[in-house]
């Protein structure tokens, strides 16, 4: 999920879409309800069943829609979703209303569930992050945001008067959580890479030494794919006088939480370190037709969550009530097919292809940044919204990014770079092709503008 997931275009009255150049202020359009395009639901005619016209109409809408999905899937680069799905074996289950309501470890009388698959998937993740089977609680969520909402809530229940610390490049759901939960929140500065700046973290911690700390650690930020240094975060806490029973760390591993364990030399996300919870998305690196995620929490903290009898009214420790029972099946199927070994290969391929993309961009005179543990390549924002939309790039301010996922091949990257080079001649035309300066975003070393190259 990108900070730009839902980047609004400025919309003027009447619903016409107006593109804005990057120098214009970026309006947030909230509280509007503009019907740009919509397949209206209409009331069937009395004779529809006889004529079959309605079925025919719906079939034609769906066939056109399928065609557009094929095309859109082909040209997708910007969001961290693995679109290479092969779930034919599961289509036999689509007709069932599978619902894992409540907690995966508390049986329900509703029989059409997939808890036995869900628990298998959770065990796999607990093993990945080195927590014993009987020492975690977890569940399969609807998305990365739910995982973050859960992690921060557990933190707050453990430390009701704790202060939430998160780098300013954290996913927006972290700040949404702070607001929802009425928590005091300190935004911590970041380094140029996008990592949390532990100097600033220390300074902010020192302001509230009397209050416990709840920390969101990014295992891959949304925009730059930067990985916060978990060890340094813990050391900073210790150095500032926070004992292990005075802080709670939630790791937002939306994308890289699953990739990092397979990167050689990468610092480990593991419950052997004093962290409370990790969440990761299932529809990103794994690939799944619908958004989902995995949330693993240290069991003792869930017990803290349950100390208030009132809270038990919820009968479970999840955020949601009814839960999608298909998602665990998709995850179970892929994990079983690929295994740790398969994921390792795919991670290596992604990192390799990300380096290839960065290389091709810089050879073409386009400044680019690729963090060490990441497959997110950051570069100048294209000047043309149509191009951005075609390749479905996520943008922020002056920069755009491509997140190299397993379904993104060298061929596709070549097509993209070739087209980008071609278009830039038009955008920066007149023979004096000059790259824009993106040093403030990606650093002077990575910038290839006339000043920095």
User: Per CB under 8 A, which of residues 40..69 are in contact with a copy of itself?
Assistant: 40-44, 54, 58-59, 62, 65-66, 69
77-96 residues in contact with a copy of itself (CB under 8 A) are 78-79, 81-83, 85-96
Q: Are 152 and 144 in contact (CB under 8 A)?
A: no
- Residues tagged active-site: 374
* Residue 322 touching a copy of itself (CB under 8 A): yes
Q: Which position among 312, 410, 425, 451 is part of the footprint of a copy of itself (CB under 8 A)?
A: 312
| Minimum separation from the CB atom of position 319 to a copy of itself (A) | 8
Cβ distance to a copy of itself smaller for residue 6 or 433: 6
* Residue 23 touching a copy of itself (CB under 8 A): no
Burial (Cβ within 10 Å: 0-12, 13-18, ≥19) of residue 107: exposed
Q: Which position among 269, 361, 370, 394 is part of the footprint of a copy of itself (CB under 8 A)?
A: 394
Residues 274, 293: Cα–Cα separation, whole Å: 22
**The Cα angle at residue 245 between residues 244 and 246, in degrees rounded to 5:** 90
Beta bridge partners of 138: 296
Residues 173, 151: Cα–Cα separation, whole Å: 11
330-389 residues in contact with a copy of itself (CB under 8 A) are 332-333, 335-342, 388-389
Q: Are 429 and 360 in contact (CB under 8 A)?
A: no
**The Cα angle at residue 248 between residues 101 and 314, in degrees rounded to 5:** 25
Cβ distance to a copy of itself smaller for residue 51 or 116: 116
Q: Are 208 and 159 in contact (CB under 8 A)?
A: no
238-297 residues in contact with a copy of itself (CB under 8 A) are 281, 283, 287-291
Residues 6+ apart with CB under 8 A from 140: 100, 104, 118, 121, 122, 282, 292, 293, 294, 295, 323, 324, 327, 328, 331
DSSP 15: S
The full length of the chain comes to: 453
404-443 residues in contact with a copy of itself (CB under 8 A) are none
197-226 residues in contact with a copy of itself (CB under 8 A) are none
Cβ distance to a copy of itself smaller for residue 338 or 423: 338
By CB under 8 A, the count of residues binding a copy of itself is 144
124-183 residues in contact with a copy of itself (CB under 8 A) are 124, 133-137, 142-146, 149, 153, 171-173, 175-176, 179-182
Q: Are 273 and 234 in contact (CB under 8 A)?
A: yes
Q: Which position among 9, 202, 208, 211 is part of the footprint of a copy of itself (CB under 8 A)?
A: 9
Q: Which position among 21, 50, 109, 265 is part of the footprint of a copy of itself (CB under 8 A)?
A: 109
* Residue 117 touching a copy of itself (CB under 8 A): yes
Burial (Cβ within 10 Å: 0-12, 13-18, ≥19) of residue 115: buried
| Minimum separation from the CB atom of position 444 to a copy of itself (A) | 28
Give the tokens for residue 235.
Answer: 């050391």
Cβ distance to a copy of itself smaller for residue 194 or 291: 291
Q: State the DSSP H helix or E strand holding residue 65, giving kind and residue range, or none if neither.
A: helix 53-74
DSSP 159: S
Terminal CA-CA length for the chain: 32
| Minimum separation from the CB atom of position 407 to a copy of itself (A) | 10
| Minimum separation from the CB atom of position 321 to a copy of itself (A) | 4
Residues 379, 360: Cα–Cα separation, whole Å: 12
Cβ distance to a copy of itself smaller for residue 74 or 352: 74
Which range in 34-42, 351-359, 361-369, 372-380 contacts a copy of itself by CB under 8 A? 34-42
| Minimum separation from the CB atom of position 130 to a copy of itself (A) | 16
Cβ distance to a copy of itself smaller for residue 168 or 421: 168
Cβ distance to a copy of itself smaller for residue 389 or 452: 389
Q: Quote the distance between the C-alpha of residue 260 and its chain's center.
A: 14
Q: Which position among 108, 270, 383, 398 is part of the footprint of a copy of itself (CB under 8 A)?
A: 108
Cβ distance to a copy of itself smaller for residue 57 or 209: 57
**Letter string b/e over residues 419-444, b meaning 16 or more CB atoms within 10 A of that residue's CB:** ebbeebeeeeeeeeeebbbbbebbee
Give the tokens for residue 98.
Answer: 């599978």
Residue with tokens 């995995």, as numbered in its chain = 294
| Minimum separation from the CB atom of position 291 to a copy of itself (A) | 4
| Minimum separation from the CB atom of position 272 to a copy of itself (A) | 18
């Amino acid at each position: 999920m990108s900070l730009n997931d839902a980047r609004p275009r400025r919309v003027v009255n009447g619903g016409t879409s107006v593109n804005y150049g990057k120098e214009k202020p970026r309006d947030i359009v909230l509280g509007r309800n503009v019907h740009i395009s919509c397949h209206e639901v209409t009331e069937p005619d009395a004779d529809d069943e006889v004529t079959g016209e309605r079925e025919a109409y719906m079939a034609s809408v769906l066939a056109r829609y399928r065609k557009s999905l094929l095309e859109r899937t082909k040209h997708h680069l910007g969001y961290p979703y693995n679109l290479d799905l092969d779930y034919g074996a599961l289509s036999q289950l689509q007709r069932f209303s599978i619902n894992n309501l409540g907690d995966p470890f508390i049986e329900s009388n509703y029989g059409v569930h997939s808890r036995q698959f869900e628990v298998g998937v959770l065990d796999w993740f607990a093993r990945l992050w080195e927590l014993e089977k009987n020492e975690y609680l977890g569940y399969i969520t609807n998305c990365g945001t739910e995982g973050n909402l859960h992690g921060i809530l557990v933190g707050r229940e453990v430390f009701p008067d704790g202060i939430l610390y998160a780098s300013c490049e954290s996913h927006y759901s972290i700040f949404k959580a702070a607001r929802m939960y009425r928590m005091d929140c300190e935004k911590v500065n970041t380094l140029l890479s996008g990592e949390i700046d532990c100097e600033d973290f220390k300074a902010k911690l020192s302001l509230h030494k009397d209050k416990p700390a709840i920390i969101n650690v990014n295992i891959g930020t949304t925009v730059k794919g930067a990985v916060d240094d978990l060890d340094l975060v813990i050391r900073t806490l210790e150095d500032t006088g926070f004992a292990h029973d005075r802080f709670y760390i939630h790791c937002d591993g939306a994308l890289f939480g699953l990739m990092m364990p397979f990167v050689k030399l990468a610092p480990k996300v593991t419950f052997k370190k004093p962290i409370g919870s990790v969440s990761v998305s299932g529809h990103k690196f794994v690939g799944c037709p619908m958004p989902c995620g995995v949330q693993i929490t240290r069991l003792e903290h869930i017990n803290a969550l349950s100390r208030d009898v009132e809270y038990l009214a919820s009968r479970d420790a999840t955020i949601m009530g009814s839960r999608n029972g298909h998602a665990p099946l998709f995850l179970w199927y892929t994990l079983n097919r690929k295994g740790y070994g398969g994921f390792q290969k795919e991670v290596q391929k992604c990192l390799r292809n990300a380096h290839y993309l960065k290389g091709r961009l810089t050879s073409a005179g386009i400044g680019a940044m690729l963090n060490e543990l990441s497959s997110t390549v950051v570069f100048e924002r294209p000047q043309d919204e149509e191009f951005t939309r075609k390749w479905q790039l996520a943008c922020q301010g002056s920069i755009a990014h491509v997140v190299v996922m397993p379904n993104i091949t060298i061929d596709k990257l070549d097509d993209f770079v070739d087209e980008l080079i071609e278009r830039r001649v038009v955008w920066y035309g007149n023979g004096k092709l000059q790259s824009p300066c993106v040093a403030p975003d990606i650093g002077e070393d990575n910038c290839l503008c006339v000043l920095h190259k």
